[in-house]
């Protein structure tokens, strides 16, 4: 409760009651608990929760993320893309069927529209590699997206980095190697990319940015 907070808070019980003075107090509080470093800490903690979580292959989910990021880094991907590779499956066991959208939503204000799209669609593209083993009744689901500007980039993400990243003998880099990259991404101004404004939802969120850190 407010009594446990060591700084002034807004004295309102519903948002429509807030005054400008009270809102300024709330914003000051919000800024203290949602610094870029603290946001990065929370994202990294989500990742750490994947340690020991095995969905039925030779590595746990944390190793899979680290290995995907390592492969991306060694393939020459930029730091933002490497961060996406690291965190792409943080939602795998929270909402499996649409887990890519969890990572994509988390990072959307801080990464390019291309990387957001890749994360949001990667599980569809990933299915290409196991569709026969799983006996999926509908094949090549990724094909319905062929022609999209980011199609080839998503194929590359899955083919070169994601689908081979289940190798227990691979020389994977540790999380500590990637942490500075994660912090750089969360230190960006939200919706910084010139193409973020192309989406109506992004436009609206950019317009309400004054209500957030």
Q: Are 168 and 77 in the same domain?
A: yes
Nearest CA to 210 out of 23, 14, 12 is that of 23
Q: Do 59 and 163 fall into the same domain? A: yes
Residue 40 C-beta-side C-alpha neighbours within 13 Å: 18
Residues of the domain holding 192: 36-211
- The whole-number pLDDT of residue 8 equals 79
On whether both 17 and 78 belong to a single domain, the answer is no
The pLDDT of residue 1 is 58
Do both 103 and 28 map to the same domain? no
Residue 137: phi, psi to the nearest 5?
Answer: -70, -25
Same-domain status, 22 and 124: no
Whether 18 and 122 map to the same domain: the answer is no
Q: Are residues 19 and 108 in the same domain?
A: no
Q: Could you tell me the CATH number of the domain that includes residue 137?
A: 1.10.3210.10
Residue 4 has what pLDDT? 64
Question: What is the 3 state secondary structure string of the chain?
Answer: CHHHCCCCCCCCCCHHHCCHHHHHHHHHHHHHHCCHHHHHHHHHHHHHCCCCCCCCCCCCHHHHHHHHHHHHHHCCCCHHHHHHHHHCCCCCCCCHHHHHHHHHHHHHHHCCHHHHHHHHHHHHHHHHHCCCCCCCCCCCHHHHHCCCCCHHHHHHHHHHHHCCCCCCCCCCCCHHHHHHHHHHHHCCCCCCCCCHHHCHHHHHHHHCHHHCC
State the Cα–Cα distance between residues 71 and 172, nearest whole angstrom. Answer: 8
- Residue whose tokens read 């870029």: 36
Residue 95 near residue 104, CB atoms below 8 Å: no
Rounded to two decimals, the pTM is 0.95
Taking alpha carbons only, the member of 31, 62, 59 closest to residue 45 is: 62
69 and 6 together in one domain:
no
Count of structural domains, the chain:
2
Whether residues 113 and 19 share a domain: the answer is no
Asked if residue 161 and residue 58 are part of one domain, the reply reads: yes
Domain co-membership, 25 together with 93: no
pLDDT value of position 166: 99
My answer on whether 18 and 87 are in the same domain is no
Nearest to 74 by CA among 161, 146, 184: 161
Mark the ranges of the chain whose per-residue pLDDT is less than 70.
Answer: 1-6
């Amino acid at each position: 409760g407010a009594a446990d907070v060591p700084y002034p808070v807004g004295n309102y019980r519903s948002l429509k009651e807030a005054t400008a003075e009270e809102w300024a107090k709330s914003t000051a509080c919000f800024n203290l608990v949602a610094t870029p470093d603290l946001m990065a800490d929370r994202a990294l903690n989500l990742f750490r929760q994947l340690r020991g979580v095995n969905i039925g292959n030779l590595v746990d989910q944390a190793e899979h993320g680290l290995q995907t990021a390592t492969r991306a880094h060694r393939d020459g991907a930029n730091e933002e893309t490497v961060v996406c590779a690291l965190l792409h499956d943080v939602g795998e066991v929270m909402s499996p069927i649409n887990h890519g959208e969890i990572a994509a939503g988390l990072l959307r204000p801080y990464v390019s529209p291309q990387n957001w799209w890749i994360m949001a669609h990667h599980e569809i593209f990933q299915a290409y590699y196991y569709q026969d083993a799983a006996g999926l009744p509908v094949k090549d689901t990724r094909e319905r997206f062929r022609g999209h500007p980011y199609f080839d980039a998503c194929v590359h993400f899955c083919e070169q980095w994601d689908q081979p990243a289940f190798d227990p003998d691979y020389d994977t880099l540790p999380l500590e190697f990637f942490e500075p990259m994660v912090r750089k991404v969360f230190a960006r101004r939200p919706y910084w990319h010139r193409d973020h404004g192309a989406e109506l939802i992004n436009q609206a969120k950019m317009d309400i940015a004054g209500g957030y850190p």
